[in-house]
Amino acid sequence: MNDLTQSPEMLIAAMAARARQASATLMQASDADKIRGLELAAQALRDRSDAIIRANRQDMDNAAQRGLSGALLDRLRLDADRLEGTAAGVEAVARLSNPLGTVIDETVRPNGLVLQRVRVPLGVIGIIYESRPNVTADAAALCLRAGNAAILRGGSEAIESNRAIHAAMAEGIGAAGLPVDAIQLVPTTDRAAVGAMLRAVGLIDLIVPRGGKSLVARVQEEARVPVLAHLDGMNTTYVHSSADPEMARALVVNAKMRRTGICGATETLLFDAAFPATADVVKALLDAGCAVRGDAAIRAVDPRVSEASDEDWNTEYLDAIVSAAQVSGLDEAIAHIAAHSSHHTDAIIATDTQAAERFLNAVDSAIVMWNASTQFADGGEFGLGAEIGISTGRLHARGPVALEGLTTYKWIVRGTGQTRP
Amino acid sequence: MNDLTQSPEMLIAAMAARARQASATLMQASDADKIRGLELAAQALRDRSDAIIRANRQDMDNAAQRGLSGALLDRLRLDADRLEGTAAGVEAVARLSNPLGTVIDETVRPNGLVLQRVRVPLGVIGIIYESRPNVTADAAALCLRAGNAAILRGGSEAIESNRAIHAAMAEGIGAAGLPVDAIQLVPTTDRAAVGAMLRAVGLIDLIVPRGGKSLVARVQEEARVPVLAHLDGMNTTYVHSSADPEMARALVVNAKMRRTGICGATETLLFDAAFPATADVVKALLDAGCAVRGDAAIRAVDPRVSEASDEDWNTEYLDAIVSAAQVSGLDEAIAHIAAHSSHHTDAIIATDTQAAERFLNAVDSAIVMWNASTQFADGGEFGLGAEIGISTGRLHARGPVALEGLTTYKWIVRGTGQTRP
């Protein structure tokens, strides 16, 4: 189907044209067919597990020869358990509620016209990801369930695994009578194909990068197609003067230390000057193995606190390190967050309802929290089922994005012959 | 405030920084203050009408000397009536319902966390427009009511009028205690400032071009900031075999001829081969003064029908001209629209409900209509009040965009000390 001698632009344009055709077919497909397609795809992943794991072994061997790091090899590796998890993930997407066809609102005009806004698929979605081959199945399942065609571009180190997983997904959706072009894998490892996807305005409706910061940064920098992503999770937890000391200690330690490598981890702490238990909270963090980089006031509470540089207030550590400052009150906390936050997730700990509500209103981030750990910033924890990603952009979808974020709406107008006067 | 010796990039960055600050203040302002600001702005437009009309006279004199066309001069011209219309328009925006603070949905998680998605302002919006000076007031009012800061860049031929209108708007919102930087006019007529706005990623959240095709095309081509707009209204009305002939005649003539220059006008007609009254409808159009360019089947019904070229099927005439073809049935009509539509507004005329519903489902346009004139494609006719524009893009907002399209949402999470296990 794909002529690999053509330019990356021609290749992507041809794939996108087939994807658009498939998307038109999908728009008229029933939800039952999509569910069936995903169930059959999950079955095909299980049936083909030997072949998929064999393909993965080939990728692993190549990667080891090329000297890839242990962390990278671990991300690349598939075994029976992980593959079963991937198949179960596809089935979980089949069990989510159907986002399509929902009537968002309805108006009857004085002239009798009946207007509805109805959820419909977005169209053609490009997924650009790195070494985890399970994304081939996860992302494709989410796109398909929302009625979209997906163009998948995984990391070159995972190409054999991705091909094997893609073949299983295509087998499943094909067996349900859905167009196999609804899930296409870019067949080349040529990096220029990524650039062609990013410039495919009008051919691809949305790009979702899944991977590390350098991938997301490149995509956000180069893309002309709209991108749904976040670059940083520069999240702040602010301990208000009214915070319950015990709650503050538990929340701060959890928000920073539960898992330091996730985007919802807290990276900066702000302590109200009038909060009486700052020293307790800082010591609890230090005792939990967290390095604390503080301003003068925070350094004064414990000799283990080192000096924070200007850079620290803008650094997403993704590690057992936190920056911490004292603020004079709510206004200074809000101003600090406005200046340094990446607008992902910011939290206040307070018993004073008025202060908390003012924080929730004034902080302009995708997620704002009161008396909760920033580590909850996750589609699964939000009850959305699988998420395609978290967006810090302000348009279309914000925060955790699941099926609904992969849809748009159209206006349906039903009349009885009305002409406009 | 603005140093005109700085580069366009510096100028726009400085304006955007002040706009962001104003936007933060607006996020905490009450709706009553915004309403009061718009009412005072409308009053200021009336109070300053002499000065505004004087400034407009200066623009008109300059434009006449530069040999601008009569149509352009008419768009530029302000008189007491037009200015009163502008002031009334600002008051009308003040009367729309508040889009902010609406709880889109709420979830209570098993762990007790309460999640809400709440409508909040989008942030900083850039408006790029041409000679009509009323846009300075209209667009600013819509942006402000939705809690946003606006950076306005009008046509150079209208600079004096825009300055005078902007001063009135600023006076009004300032008198209501709102930040005057919420409505800023780009002070230079240097075209490079437009380019700087289009590239101001992260500084300006959304660009809305208001003007002719060449402006919209330039903005869509150059912008790195997301754009809300439509380039073409290549709209089709399809007359199904089951259509009521009398209704078909009335709808087609209205859809094409009521006003030929608006983006909701029908540009292509498709007639089902089995529709018995094609000749009547075509003759009615011809008799109404419309030039018809047809395929062989349509040419056969009246000698006045000329031959359509390939180009005609993709041409938005915005004039008393229509392209017309015969199709074998619903599938061919849907395929024709998929191939040629600009995805603005497409309509079916039919008494067969099943055929109509299949059309409404399968046609992937911002607005799809059944038994109604495509000329209804308008925010006012949709009951939205003033519209900022119509979007054929698929993300964020689609079709007529009013206050809601100038907002986003954030996730508010309220807990009682929950940590993530």
Encode pLDDT of B200-252 as tens digits.
Answer: 999 999 999 998 889 999 999 999 999 999 888 999 999 999 999 999 999 99
In this structure, the answer to whether residues A243 and A368 fall within a common structural domain is yes
For residue B226, the chain A residues in CB contact (below 8 A) are 226, 395
The C-alpha of A254 sits at a distance from chain B's nearest C-alpha, in angstroms, of 6
For residue A396, the chain B residues in CB contact (below 8 A) are 395-396
Residue B407 Ramachandran class (φ > 0 left, ψ -120 to 50 alpha, else beta): beta
Name the residue in chain B with its Cα closest to that of A400: B411
Calpha distance A265→B109 (Å, rounded): 20
Domain count, chain A: 2
The C-alpha of B323 sits at a distance from chain A's nearest C-alpha, in angstroms, of 20
Q: Is B231 on the interface with A (CB under 8 A)?
A: no
ipTM of this complex prediction, to 2 decimal places: 0.94
What's B103's domain CATH number?
Answer: 3.40.605.10
Structure tokens at B309: 């070229």
In this structure, the answer to whether residues A256 and A285 fall within a common structural domain is yes
For residue A107, the chain B residues in CB contact (below 8 A) are 382-383
Calpha distance A162→A175 (Å, rounded): 20
In this structure, the answer to whether residues B80 and B173 fall within a common structural domain is yes
* Residue contacts between A and B (CB atoms, under 8 Å): 188
Q: In this structure, how many other beta carbons lie within 10 angstroms of the beta carbon of residue A263?
A: 22
Contact B360 A412 (CB under 8 A): yes
In this structure, the answer to whether residues A103 and A189 fall within a common structural domain is yes
In this structure, the answer to whether residues B175 and B253 fall within a common structural domain is no
Closest Cβ–Cβ partner in B27, B123, B411 for A367: B411
The C-alpha of B74 sits at a distance from chain A's nearest C-alpha, in angstroms, of 24
Domain around B161? 8-228+401-412
Q: Is B398 on the interface with A (CB under 8 A)?
A: yes
Closest Cβ–Cβ partner in A28, A250, A398 for B417: A250
In this structure, the answer to whether residues A205 and A284 fall within a common structural domain is no
In this structure, the answer to whether residues A202 and A253 fall within a common structural domain is no
**Is B1 within a domain?**
no
Restricting to B residues 260-299, those with a Cβ less than 8 Å away from any Cβ of A are none
Structure tokens at A196: 């062609």
Residue A384 φ/ψ, nearest 5 degrees: -90, 0
For residue A369, the chain B residues in CB contact (below 8 A) are 412-415
Contact B411 A368 (CB under 8 A): yes
Per-residue pLDDT averaged across B15-20, rounded?
97
Strand partners, A127: A152, A208
**Is B129 within a domain?**
yes
In this structure, the answer to whether residues A58 and A173 fall within a common structural domain is yes
The beta strands (E) that lie in B99-253 are given as 103-108, 114-121, 124-129, 149-153, 183-185, 206-210, 235-239
Calpha distance B333→B100 (Å, rounded): 41
Would you say how long chain A is, in residues? 421
Q: What is the pLDDT along chain A (421 residues), one digit of tens a residue?
A: 556 568 999 999 999 999 999 999 998 899 999 999 999 999 999 999 999 999 999 999 999 999 988 888 999 999 999 999 999 999 999 999 999 999 999 999 999 999 999 999 999 999 999 989 999 999 999 999 999 999 999 999 999 999 999 999 999 999 999 999 999 999 998 899 999 999 999 999 999 999 888 999 999 999 999 999 988 899 999 999 999 999 999 999 999 999 999 999 999 999 999 999 999 999 999 999 999 999 999 999 999 999 999 999 999 999 999 999 999 999 999 999 999 999 999 999 999 999 999 999 999 999 999 999 999 999 999 999 888 999 999 999 999 999 999 999 999 999 999 999 9
In this structure, the answer to whether residues B43 and B177 fall within a common structural domain is yes
Name the residue in chain B with its Cα closest to that of A351: B416
**Is A49 within a domain?**
yes
In this structure, the answer to whether residues A177 and A295 fall within a common structural domain is no
The C-alpha of B417 sits at a distance from chain A's nearest C-alpha, in angstroms, of 5
**Is B3 within a domain?**
no
What's B309's domain CATH number?
Answer: 3.40.309.10
Among B261, B369, B370, smallest CA distance to B316 is for: B261
Per-residue pLDDT averaged across B9-23, rounded?
96
In this structure, the answer to whether residues B264 and B124 fall within a common structural domain is no
Structure tokens at B98: 């508040």
Q: Is A410 on the interface with B (CB under 8 A)?
A: yes
For residue A115, the chain B residues in CB contact (below 8 A) are 382-383
**Is A60 within a domain?**
yes
Q: Is B371 on the interface with A (CB under 8 A)?
A: yes
Calpha distance B341→B364 (Å, rounded): 9
**Is A391 within a domain?**
no
Question: Do the beta carbons of residue A362 and residue A255 sit within 8 Å?
Answer: no
For residue A254, the chain B residues in CB contact (below 8 A) are 419-420
Restricting to B residues 101-120, those with a Cβ less than 8 Å away from any Cβ of A are 107, 109, 113, 115, 120
**Is B2 within a domain?**
no
The C-alpha of A348 sits at a distance from chain B's nearest C-alpha, in angstroms, of 10
**Is A246 within a domain?**
yes
Who's near B357: CB < 8 A, 6+ residues apart? Answer: none
Among A3, A11, A16, smallest CA distance to A148 is for: A16
Q: Is B354 on the interface with A (CB under 8 A)?
A: no
In this structure, the answer to whether residues A299 and A337 fall within a common structural domain is yes
Contact B206 A370 (CB under 8 A): no
Closest Cβ–Cβ partner in B123, B370, B398 for A414: B370
